[in-house]
Structure 1
Amino acid sequence: MINDSRQTLIECHSRLRRFCQSQLSTLINAASEYLVQQAQQADDNETQQRYFEVQQVIDTQHKKLSAQFERTLSTLFAVLITPSAHGKTNNTDPHDSALSLLGKDEMELKVALTSMSHRAEADYAEALFALGQRLALLNNGIKLTSENNPFAPQVLCNNFMACIDDLSLDLQSRLILLKLFDRYFIKHLTNIYAEVNLFLVNHNVLPNLRYHHRSDRSIAPKRRKSDNAFIKESEDRQSELFDVMRSLLSAQPMQQNNQLPSISVERLIAELSALQSQQLMRFTGTSIIAEPAPALANTNTNTSQQQAIECVGILFEHILNDDSLHDSVKSLLSHLHTPLLKLALLDDTFLSNPKHDARQLVNQLINAGEYWLTDDISTQNNIYQQMQRVIKKIITDFDNDNSNEIFSHVSAELNTYIEKIERQASITEKRSIQAVKGKEALASGRQKVTALINEKICNEPLPKPILQLINKPWNAFLAYTLLRYGDDSTQWQEAINFIDELLWYIEPKINKEEILQAKNLRSALNEKLKYGLSSVGLDANEIQQHLNSLDMCSKLATENIHDVDVNDINKKNLLSNEQTISKKRPPNVKESHLQSEKKLDLKTHQPINDRKQENKQPIKTKPLAAINERASDESIAAVLSMDFGTWLDWQQKNMPSRRLKLTWYNQKTQNCMLSNSMGQQVAIVSANEIALGINSGSIIMSDTQLKKPFFERMLETVVDRLRLKTQTA
């Protein structure tokens, strides 16, 4: 059975290899032609030369690129085909290092790569599911993930990215190659998936497998909107509120001035179009000045026109009075007053239909202004510039005949851009969390190591070079070993045992047997010391100094003991039990002469080590405010049970309000990570600080994801105002 599975996997590998060779060859030819075409169409010599240089690199390096791509896939298949190879490969994405910091270019590439692989995973979900189940059966029942499945889009995308990284191309060239990879490789994955699945079915590998769709697939991009039930409920509520508003407006007497002429809707729209054309001249520069409401001529209008004018006026009044919007956003949105009033007169469904493209666009703009634009300079993004382009396009291109097309187009354009920013923020947040987890683990490891060293030494007077060796470089090596291998590993135990061996090695040796044992131990000690010190970055000279110091201390201890009566030394050491320690003997080393006289009762005589208490203390962090009190255990527990992603409106005395997200916390240390909307870490604070803030009212929890759409909030306000006006009339 094992041999059959192995042979089947080998055949799967062969089919994937043939597919990759064919598609990469097509891709490279297409890339060469595309680059030559771009060079011929270039506007300047510099750009033309750059395209030709990239084309030359592709032509000369295509064999190397294909070979590297194949090697990576072969390595993944080797793990499946050869069971002994499990655990020997490192499938970590080089672009997804836990503590790496991405620059702007790398972030753009990462977003493009993630978007490409997620889209492919969604498009080929059924075929990938079937292939994954069948490969798992061949892999002794061990399921493959998107990181170690050779057929997974994420693996293929990361593999290609690693290959072109080695070509040292500029950002634009790499983005071009990624786009072509998507077109000529990823878009054709359906062929290899179908071929391999059919091959496995013919070999009786889960031939009756059925695909069960999961609506909560983690590979789907995170959306800003909540579930469909919430959206449907909001839309129904908006329709209901609009009917109530129209009824209340109709019940009010219509103000007419018989001395003023009546105006047709066509004339009114023409006036608004003229105002819209003039408006474009004022919509320039980076700083947009607020646009006043359109000034229409004093005329009489019919009921529907008057209601449209009044409703749109109320809409923008509500925008300008919204405290959650930045002033710059209010000024920008004010330029939509004229176009939206014209739209309301052209299309009465704008005000009545919650699904209208223009309504969706206004909700998107408001949400973007509330969520992505703040006074916090750390949340830098281009959302404002994108909003500016959208509104300018409406002012420029919206005419009487294309209302549906223009609003649908710019709404989709803005939605695509915001999804890109969301993915970028998600990646940044993930890396921030990984960095904080790494720091917390490192700090916890260092505390554990320090406590262990103190327990080993127990304040015993040791030569200064030995103390420096144990407390500095070997301390660092212990922390490194603990984080990498864990405290149940042989590497960790050997690193701890080294301290026992070292302390025994520098004890005075009073007989030939002990001197011989120390001589035999010296070589092993030196090798362990060299390995440990080199692992934490010490150079050869520094390592040699520590080796020399170790030999010197051992030699001096043995030489000096012959000048003093041994019995006197033993008696003195035994009486000074607060400076004595019962050390573990190294392997194959007999009990030391310092321990052979008498066993000390450690429970009664071991000195108290104050520093051991440090292991129970949380990592020191810089609070956002001075904290001198302690919240109740229940309040702290409530903070540590909050969902990750909870937003906190943070009010500090004499400081502007900040909206921060609780991104992660450590139950053990009670440290909480706060980030901004771009996923960047803002602070690490204690759960106690958050609990005190919530209790005092300076911190308010808010759920921005379930916030009502702007139109629903606006209609509720309008209806309440009209009802109050009717009651007091």
Structure 2
Amino acid sequence: MHNDGKVVPINQAHATPSPLARLPVVLLQVRDKAAQQLQQGLQELFDNADDTLFEMADKSRNNLDQHIFFEAMRDLRLKRKNFERVFMARLFEAFARLGQAGRGEAQLVPMVSYEAAPGASKDDLEKTVALEAMLGRVRHRDGVALGQLTARLSALLGNRLDDRENPLGPALLCEFFLHAGRSLGVEICVKLIMLKLFEKYVLSDADQLYGEANQLLLATGVLPELKAVPSRRLEARAARDYPRQESLPAADQPVGANDQEAFAALQTLLTAVRGSVAPTLEPSAEPSPISTRDLLRLLSHLQQYVPEPEAEDDFDLRNQLEQLLTRVSVKSGKSRVVEEADEDVINLIALLFEFILNDRAVPDAFKALIGRLQIPMLKVALLDKRFFSRASHPARRLLNEIAAAAIGCSERDPLYLRIEQVVQRLLNEFGEDPVIFSQLLCEFSAFTADERRRSDLLEQHTRDAEAGRVRTEAARQRVADILNKRLLGKVLPRPVVQFLQQAWSQVLLLASLKHGEQSVQWQAGLRTMDELIWSVSLQQDTEAGRHLAEQLPGLLKALRDGLTSAAFDPFSTREFFLRLQALHIQAPEGGDELIEVNEPFVPGATSADPITLSDDDPDLHKVHQLKEGSWVVFEQDNADALRCKLTAIMAPANAYIFTSRTGLKVLEKSAGQLALAFKHGALQTLDGGPLFERALAAVVGKLRQLNRGK
């Protein structure tokens, strides 16, 4: 566990004044030092729990297991602070008990075997076995240091303690953890994962916990004859915090003939803009070309003064170079000019970034940030002309990765900070060795790959949820159609109509969703409904009416079984059965009990009015051209523009489902609503293709136009 000064101070409210007042000062120091380390360990645990549960959801074999892990992630985020507070409170209470005379029996984790105790559940057995295994590993690994700490506490307090009574022993630490976790509404599989994380991020550093506690007690002369146990270096922690660097792609291969030809073709087009980078001096000044190496040194100097993204003034690369060349020229007395090939590279980079900073696909919040890459990209292009001809060039790929990751982001997105770190590293560290681009590409690509894997999984979860919702809506409408077919135009008792519409419709809906409309359960539900309607429509003086009593037990049982299958509370339907009994015994009294069903039953809330457009409407055609995976931006009234991805088109409702960068649903629109948004200019599509390739194609097209105009 790290102790870097960022640990949140322990609230003094945790302490119980009277027993703590009887504790020796050094024991209070042990407690507070341990509390800091344990709190840091818990913070690490929760910081990593989200990733661990996400990985488990990713590996889940079915939607139910996946849902369990997603819900656990949500529960942990909501209850994290309370969990940490309860854990620390239990720790302080355990130290307080040490100072009480005639201590009561400590709450200990029992020693268990692999055989279940009578009446123990399978979940309890799994948790108990996992706990015993954890305790065994800690005792085997750190038993000597723990024994010394327990012996010193015993000597200090004058009471013989067992390791299981030591507030810092693994038994009580596990008890604190389990007690704090009682508020979590998670499944046993999640509880076992949390126990493993507790072992990984808290118990794995027990040697440091015991070592520092022993040192504090030793410094005050408590059992100095006990030989100190050296603290071990945890290889697992080192491997986690300092992962092995992967091999990096080389960037210093010689430029081939094809690369030279590609750059020569670009130079031909760039003749139209030559002369735009030159010092501002008198025409009589003697021109003196500056070498590429000296130009790189000037750019490295300029690189240190690239303004922050928040700066109001735009960074004009060519203008800044002109000013720098002018200062150098005045100092030397010669007109220092860049060589032709170098000027072509400068102009090309400037034009590329001009396109990038005006590209709609790049969020405004990221444009200034990406704009700070002009000098590093210019330097790598001067060093390696393959930058313009090879899509696999590390610097080019890094720019594309950054742009692709940013397309769905805002400045408040955590990704902004990650990209800012990449940009700042290039500005700080890139001199003339382009290998840093390969290093940063490897790191950033690994990060974005993990982000995409997360978003893909959440998008699939969103698609599945939306498919389930559409299926439910279709089934609900089917049930409504069946009810209307049987009820409309009939005169029936009001309680029966209300029961069928409000309760039995849910029984039929559940049967449809779980078993299908060809199932025995669905057919039984329809038959019971028809029998109920038949039973309250009979005249008692008819032959069928006189024999109704013989058939009622079967009908009532079918009704109760159906309600039970739909998890209806039997008490809430008791009144209906009493009314039904009265209806079967005698005819309804008064006209208010009988109603003619004229209004169709409409399930749930009605959807928005459909928007009717002609089939040849150009904006509706734009909607039909949208493909899943397309990025769009919605201009919203009095709000920031919403960038989102079309994740699913749900038939037959023809609903378009949009998600955020993280895969969570943010918007649902019909085809008509999207067409109207296109008409009003509130909706625009974004080109998600590689940014550099799009910029280069646009610049080449612009240069060709300029050359044709000459």
2:669 corresponds in structure 1 to 685
2:457 corresponds in structure 1 to 427
Q: Judge conservation of contact 2:289–2:337 (CA < 8 Å) in 1.
A: yes
| Identity among equivalent pairs (%) | 22
2:485 corresponds in structure 1 to 455
Q: Judge conservation of contact 2:635–2:682 (CA < 8 Å) in 1.
A: yes
Do structure 1's residue 333 and structure 2's residue 365 form an aligned pair? no
Cα deviation code 1:532-580 (max 9, x no counterpart): 334444323213222222212211239x89xxxxxxxxxxxxxx9x97x
Q: Judge conservation of contact 1:630–1:688 (CA < 8 Å) in 2.
A: no
1:663 corresponds in structure 2 to 647
Cα deviation code 1:336-371 (max 9, x no counterpart): 2232333334444434544321111122223333x2
1:718 corresponds in structure 2 to 699
Deviation at 1:686, TM superposition (A): 3.1
Question: For 1:46 and 1:670, how far apart are their aligned partners in 2?
Answer: 56
Q: What is the one-letter code of the residue matched to 2:515?
A: Y
Question: For 2:273 and 2:657, how far apart are their aligned partners in 1?
Answer: 54
2:64 corresponds in structure 1 to 94
Query: Quick one: which of 234, 244, 252 aligns to 2:265?
Result: 244
Do structure 1's residue 165 and structure 2's residue 199 form an aligned pair? no
Q: What is the one-letter code of the residue matched to 1:611?
A: P
Question: For 2:193 and 2:461, how far apart are their aligned partners in 1?
Answer: 24
Q: Judge conservation of contact 1:308–1:341 (CA < 8 Å) in 2.
A: yes
Label 1:351 to 1:641 Cα distance change in 2 as closer, same or farther (>3 A): closer
Do structure 1's residue 302 and structure 2's residue 339 form an aligned pair? yes
SS at match of 1:557: coil
Unaligned 5+ residue runs, structure 1?
1-36, 57-68, 70-89, 108-160, 178-182, 185-234, 562-575, 580-606
2:404 corresponds in structure 1 to 367
Question: For 2:400 and 2:355, how far apart are their aligned partners in 1?
Answer: 13
Label 1:413 to 1:692 Cα distance change in 2 as closer, same or farther (>3 A): same
2:434 corresponds in structure 1 to 403
Do structure 1's residue 269 and structure 2's residue 296 form an aligned pair? yes
Deviation at 1:318, TM superposition (A): 2.8
1:519 corresponds in structure 2 to 549
Deviation at 1:388, TM superposition (A): 0.7
Q: Judge conservation of contact 2:463–2:647 (CA < 8 Å) in 1.
A: yes
1:611 corresponds in structure 2 to 600
Question: For 1:238 and 1:498, how far apart are their aligned partners in 2?
Answer: 79
1:388 corresponds in structure 2 to 420
Question: For 1:724 and 1:686, how far apart are their aligned partners in 2?
Answer: 41
Label 1:508 to 1:435 Cα distance change in 2 as closer, same or farther (>3 A): same
2:38 corresponds in structure 1 to 49
Deviation at 1:699, TM superposition (A): 8.6
Cα deviation code 1:78-103 (max 9, x no counterpart): xxxxxxxxxxxx97343434997785
Label 1:386 to 1:545 Cα distance change in 2 as closer, same or farther (>3 A): same
Question: For 2:451 and 2:396, how far apart are their aligned partners in 1?
Answer: 22
Q: List aligned pairs for 1:41-120, cutoff 5 A.
A: 45-46=34-35, 48-49=37-38, 92-97=62-67
2:177 corresponds in structure 1 to none
Deviates more, 1:716-725 or 1:645-654: 645-654
Question: For 2:380 and 2:199, how far apart are their aligned partners in 1?
Answer: 43
Question: For 1:288 and 1:310, how far apart are their aligned partners in 2?
Answer: 23
Question: For 2:410 and 2:259, how far apart are their aligned partners in 1?
Answer: 28
TM-score by length of 1: 0.56
Deviation at 1:679, TM superposition (A): 3.4
Deviation at 1:165, TM superposition (A): 0.3
Cα deviation code 1:568-598 (max 9, x no counterpart): xxxxxxxx9x97xxxxxxxxxxxxxxxxxxx
Q: Judge conservation of contact 1:478–1:495 (CA < 8 Å) in 2.
A: yes
Q: Judge conservation of contact 2:633–2:686 (CA < 8 Å) in 1.
A: no
Root-mean-square deviation (CA, aligned residues, Å) is 5.1
TM-score by length of 2: 0.57
Q: What is the one-letter code of the residue matched to 2:485?
A: E
Label 1:496 to 1:555 Cα distance change in 2 as closer, same or farther (>3 A): same
2:584 corresponds in structure 1 to 554
Label 1:496 to 1:239 Cα distance change in 2 as closer, same or farther (>3 A): farther
Do structure 1's residue 494 and structure 2's residue 521 form an aligned pair? no
Residue correspondences, number: 492
2:84 corresponds in structure 1 to none
Do structure 1's residue 436 and structure 2's residue 436 form an aligned pair? no
Cα deviation code 1:130-177 (max 9, x no counterpart): xxxxxxxxxxxxxxxxxxxxxxxxxxxxxxx97640237399759979
1:528 corresponds in structure 2 to 558
Q: Judge conservation of contact 2:504–2:563 (CA < 8 Å) in 1.
A: yes
Deviates more, 1:408-417 or 1:455-464: 455-464
SS at match of 1:668: coil
Label 1:391 to 1:675 Cα distance change in 2 as closer, same or farther (>3 A): same
Q: List aligned pairs for 1:458-469, cutoff 5 A.
A: 458-469=488-499
Q: What is the one-letter code of the residue matched to 1:275?
A: L
Label 1:726 to 1:291 Cα distance change in 2 as closer, same or farther (>3 A): closer
Deviation at 1:421, TM superposition (A): 2.5
SS at match of 2:337: coil
SS at match of 1:167: helix
Q: What is the one-letter code of the residue matched to 2:392?
A: K
Label 1:317 to 1:466 Cα distance change in 2 as closer, same or farther (>3 A): closer
SS at match of 2:573: helix
1:115 corresponds in structure 2 to none
Question: For 1:390 and 1:692, how far apart are their aligned partners in 2?
Answer: 40
Q: What is the one-letter code of the residue matched to 1:460?
A: K
Question: For 2:390 and 2:200, how far apart are their aligned partners in 1?
Answer: 40
Do structure 1's residue 644 and structure 2's residue 628 form an aligned pair? yes
Question: For 2:495 and 2:687, how far apart are their aligned partners in 1?
Answer: 58
Q: Judge conservation of contact 2:631–2:643 (CA < 8 Å) in 1.
A: yes
Q: What is the one-letter code of the residue matched to 1:673?
A: I
Deviation at 1:408, TM superposition (A): 0.7
Deviation at 1:416, TM superposition (A): 2.1
Question: For 2:68 and 2:188, how far apart are their aligned partners in 1?
Answer: 21
Query: Quick one: which of 353, 377, 380 aligns to 1:343?
Result: 380
Cα deviation code 1:262-289 (max 9, x no counterpart): 544443333333333344xx548x8898
Label 1:635 to 1:486 Cα distance change in 2 as closer, same or farther (>3 A): farther
Deviation at 1:490, TM superposition (A): 0.7
SS at match of 2:657: strand
Deviation at 1:491, TM superposition (A): 0.5
Deviation at 1:619, TM superposition (A): 9.1
2:173 corresponds in structure 1 to none
Unaligned 5+ residue runs, structure 2?
8-32, 46-55, 78-185, 203-234, 237-255, 327-335
Cα deviation code 1:375-431 (max 9, x no counterpart): 9xxxx742222211110111122223x321x11111122222222232232223222
Q: What is the one-letter code of the residue matched to 2:298?
A: E
SS at match of 1:679: coil
Label 1:319 to 1:648 Cα distance change in 2 as closer, same or farther (>3 A): closer
Q: Judge conservation of contact 1:651–1:658 (CA < 8 Å) in 2.
A: yes
Question: For 2:262 and 2:566, how far apart are their aligned partners in 1?
Answer: 67
